[in-house]
Amino acid sequence: MEIVKENQKRTIQPVSHVTIHEYETHDQEISGGVAVIKGRYPEHGFVINQICKELVYVLEGSGTLITTDKETVFAKGDVLLIDHREKFAWDGDMVLFMATTPTFAPTQHVDVE
C-alpha cells in the first residue's frame, strides 16, 4: 500500500488554462492525476499518448472529447476511456481524474495535427 498526500503532488501547467496535478507512486503499472481544463487542450490539433491508456472520471464540469472521427459530450460523473495512440482533444470547463496504465510520463504526450 502506498499513499500520496495532497501536499506531495507535482503540479504542471502545460498552457495557461490547463493545470495538472500528478500523484506519483513507485508503481510502474498505473498512475493517477487530476487535470483542471478551462478551454481547448491542446489549443490546436490533437494530442496522443504514445504508451498509456487513460481512464478518465469527470469530477466536475462538462465538455467535449474530440477525436478525428467524432465529438463526445460528457458531464460530471461520466467515465471515458482513451486508448494509447488515439488522437484526442478536450474542450470545456472540467476537472478530471485520470488513471493511466502503465505509469504516465509527460514525454508520452505528443501534439499532432
**pLDDT tens digit sequence for 49-64:** 999 999 999 999 999 9
- pLDDT score at 74: 98
- pLDDT score at 78: 98
- pLDDT score at 22: 94
Q: Please state, rounded to an integer, the average pLDDT across all residues of the chain.
A: 95
Q: Is 102 exposed, middle or buried (0-12, 13-18, 19+ CB in 10 A)?
A: middle
Are 54 and 98 a contacting pair, CB within 8 Å? yes
- pLDDT score at 57: 98
Cell 507535482 found at: 10
CA distance 78 to 16: 25
- pLDDT score at 104: 87
Are 101 and 33 a contacting pair, CB within 8 Å? no
| Strands, E assignment, 42-78 | 46-49, 53-67, 71-75
The CATH code of domain 6-112 reads 2.60.120.10
Q: Is 13 exposed, middle or buried (0-12, 13-18, 19+ CB in 10 A)?
A: exposed
Q: Which residues of the chain have pLDDT under 50?
A: none
- pLDDT score at 107: 86
